[in-house]
Amino acid sequence: MSSAHLVDDIYQGVVPALIPFLVAERGYSYAAVAGLILAATVLSSVGQPVFGWLGDRRPRRWMISVGMLTAALGVGLVGLSLNYTTTWLLIALSGLGIAAFHPEAARAARHAAGDSNRAMSIFAVGGNIGFALGALIATPLLLATGLGGTAFLVIPALVMAIILVSRLRTVLDGPIAARRRVKAVTGVDNWPAFLRLTAVVVVRSIIFFGLTSFLALYFIHDLGASTVQGGFALTLFLICGALGTFIGGWIADRWGRLKSIRLGFALAIPAMAGIVLSPTWPHAMVFVALTGISIFIPFAVFVILGQDYLPHRIGTASGVTIGLAVSIGGLFAPVLGWIADSIGLQPVLTILIALPLVALILTGLLHDPDSMPRHPRPTGDAAAEAAEEGAI
């Protein structure tokens, strides 16, 4: 599931990596490219909780493969589009595919992970690495081929979909003759606590989308870096984010989930300030790495904590924490783009520095659910498993 998450999130990482090329080849403004970030998130933000709710009623593992292929197709056709409207719609289609993938993939990952934060962080790290690879793959590919090379990006999804169709059910559930019985989930759904967690995830997502939208451009336009160096800054942020995700899961298992979340936001404040205050791009690269680690420390913990707040609605919890709450941050990208067009990129990054403090304050409203296991491996309830037997 971590490998599938990696491949799927390549297509999220490609979108911000496309921005410098769209600006160079098509002359898009900051506001226009921020609108493309919005396109990547608008259907995903609405779709993920819907797909999660559908999965809670009856698990639909086929959405993992179909969602991934849809995400790949949308991004793959961007380079062949003829105008801004078509480009926007194709990126929105890719966002819809992302929406279909994540809730069912997170359910399957929790099936395998049980109650281990570190195990769920492995699933989340797959997505972090995929997002980073999206930038790492797209930048040299498009430098060599131009925007028309986006069609080659469909290949990883095709390969991974074949693997999922042939192996996923057996890997998760075992041979049909030895299918394991599923224990009932315990605990009650705590919606007030889940909504408070959602507010923290939203604030973190604004920071994330602000950085992924404008970090490369800041290096190029404000710090005098080349296009390749700007792309590397974004890639470094995401690669260090993968490391931060794994560190966050380890800290959560060792010292507690809320301590892990709070530590990440506390470290993010000086790290982000370092980017803005650095006089040259090599100095700023150091703080980009530290920012990536700190911003991603809470990521996997959000997912498993949300699932424990809503133990009977795993899909809905996953759809909101991975999808809706995260994507709402993308809705602020056009506002940040308008500010950047008006007064520059550095003020935008300066504004973002205050947000980790806001998130840190909001975490004071959270509590850790009872430590008793709620999702024994395999997870779910017997009725849902019986329904899934007929669905796959």
Could you identify the residue written with the tokens 């849902």? 384
How do residues 161-185 score in pLDDT, each as one tens digit?
999 888 887 777 766 544 455 445 5
Quickly list DSSP for 188-216.
---HHHHHHHHHHHHHHHHHHHHHHHHHH
What pLDDT does residue 317 have?
A: 82
Tell me the pLDDT band of 112, cut-offs 50, 70 and 90.
confident
What pLDDT does residue 73 have?
A: 93
Find out whether 337 and 23 touch, Cβ atoms under 8 Å: no
How do residues 239-292 score in pLDDT, each as one tens digit?
898 889 889 988 988 888 899 999 999 999 999 999 999 989 999 999 999 999
Please indicate whether residue 376 or residue 202 has the higher confidence score (pLDDT): 202
pLDDT-wise least confident of 50-59, 218-227, 379-388: 379-388
- Look at residues 21, 26, 70 and name the one whose alpha carbon lies nearest to residue 44: 70
Query: Which residues form the domain of 165?
Result: 2-391
What pLDDT does residue 176 have?
A: 56
Tell me the pLDDT band of 134, cut-offs 50, 70 and 90.
confident
Q: How far is the C-alpha of 20 from the C-alpha of 36, rounded, in Å?
A: 12
| Residue 240 to residues 187, 231, 276, 289, 290, Cα–Cα distance (Å) | 35, 14, 18, 6, 7
Number of domains in the chain: 1
The CATH number assigned to the domain holding 383 equals 1.20.1250.20
| Residue 221 to residues 32, 120, 156, 229, 280, Cα–Cα distance (Å) | 17, 38, 33, 11, 12
Tell me the pLDDT band of 326, cut-offs 50, 70 and 90.
low
367 exposed, middle or buried (CB, 10 Å; 0-12, 13-18, 19+)? Answer: exposed
Quickly list DSSP for 78-140.
GGG--SHHHHHHHHHHHHHHHHHHHHHHHHHHHHHHTT-HHHHHHHHHHHHHHHHHHHHHHHH
Tell me the pLDDT band of 370, cut-offs 50, 70 and 90.
low
Could you identify the residue written with the tokens 């984010």? 241
Tell me the pLDDT band of 28, cut-offs 50, 70 and 90.
confident
What pLDDT does residue 175 have?
A: 64
- Look at residues 280, 242, 27 and name the one whose alpha carbon lies nearest to residue 132: 242
199: left (phi over 0), alpha (psi -120 to 50) or beta: alpha
What whole-number percentage of the chain has pLDDT above 70?
89
What pLDDT does residue 275 have?
A: 93
How do residues 224-244 score in pLDDT, each as one tens digit?
888 888 888 988 898 898 889
What pLDDT does residue 174 have?
A: 66
